[in-house]
Structure 1
Amino acid sequence: MKFILNVTLVITLMIVKVASAQNQSIEITVVNATSDKGTVNFALYDKASYMKQPIQGKTAGITKGKSTVVFENIPSGEYAVICYHDKNSNEKMDFEANGMPMEDYGATNNVMNFGPPRYDDAKFVVADKNVSLEIRF
């Protein structure tokens, strides 16, 4: 009886360890906000959801030009994060009449092109470790 209990306990611990190892966290830090006014809004996407409906969205304040969020319980896979500095706290990215953004924005891997960030430029992989990345506006 004691042997069966020990085997059951070991199997349970192994299952818990494997289950917890499958989900990681992603820490994203904007390192160069031009002011501490407003917030930075972050969105985590996979390829299928990119620029549609984020998997997770987070908002963070800014201190000394830096803003950090952590996306938790992320399964292994390929992802991209985009963010923008909501200077006026109206919870949307503001644009000029000609379509140019009025607020700073960025994406993982810091590839800056004209137009919105592209998934293939911003993608990164989450595997068996937590991920920590910086974004520059």
Structure 2
Amino acid sequence: MKKLFLTFVLGLTTLFSYSQVEGITITITVDNLTSDKGIAAFALHTKETFMRGEGVMNTESTIEAGKVVVTFKNVQPGEYAIIGLHDVNENGRMDYRENGMPLEGFGTSNNVMSFGPPQYDDAKFKVENEDLELYIRF
């Protein structure tokens, strides 16, 4: 009886572990960083979090030969935008010149560059049922 019960529990555990829906992986590549100094930091945002602080997921990486590859794992389907920053002095924020222009490189998903701060509608993309590979220019 004990053996039958353990077999039943093991079967249920296996069934539930396979039924858990694993999210999508988003791989981001940036290959035009101006130096290997500092870190490259990335934030995955929803419309509600975009340009308002931390993303729903955040990651960072060291830079080698002007290139970085990072991933966001287990992302659930929905609409998102990514902001990336080359934080040269590793102070955790974007630095600006006196005239308001950025001192450090940055980029967004869809690579839309405009005067002024990035806009969510320009950077948004959909996560559906396949892993994504995005290339962002800084």
Q: Classify the TM-score, shorter chain.
A: 0.7 to 0.9
Q: Establish whether residue 41 from structure 1 lines up as the match of residue 52 from structure 2.
A: no
Residue number in structure 2 paired with 1:97? 98
Structure 2: tracts of 5 or more residues without a match = none
| Aligned-pair identity (%) | 44
Residue number in structure 2 paired with 1:64? 65
Given residue 77 of structure 1, which amino acid in structure 2 is its aligned partner? Answer: G
| TM-score (norm: length of structure 1) | 0.85
Between the aligned partners of 2:16 and 2:120, the Cα distance in structure 1 is 34
Q: Secondary structure at the match of 1:101?
A: coil
Q: Establish whether residue 112 from structure 1 lines up as the match of residue 103 from structure 2.
A: no
Q: Secondary structure at the match of 1:20?
A: coil
Q: Secondary structure at the match of 1:79?
A: strand
Residue number in structure 2 paired with 1:83? 84
Deviation at 1:12, TM superposition (A): 6.4
Residue number in structure 2 paired with 1:32? 32
Q: Which runs of 4+ in 1 moved over 6 A?
A: none
Aligned residue pair count: 132
Deviation at 1:20, TM superposition (A): 2.6
Given residue 77 of structure 2, which amino acid in structure 1 is its aligned partner? Answer: S
48-57 or 106-115: bigger deviation: 48-57
Deviation at 1:13, TM superposition (A): 5.5
| TM-score (norm: length of structure 2) | 0.84
Deviation at 1:16, TM superposition (A): 3.9
Residue number in structure 1 paired with 2:128? 127
CA RMSD of aligned residues (A): 2.0
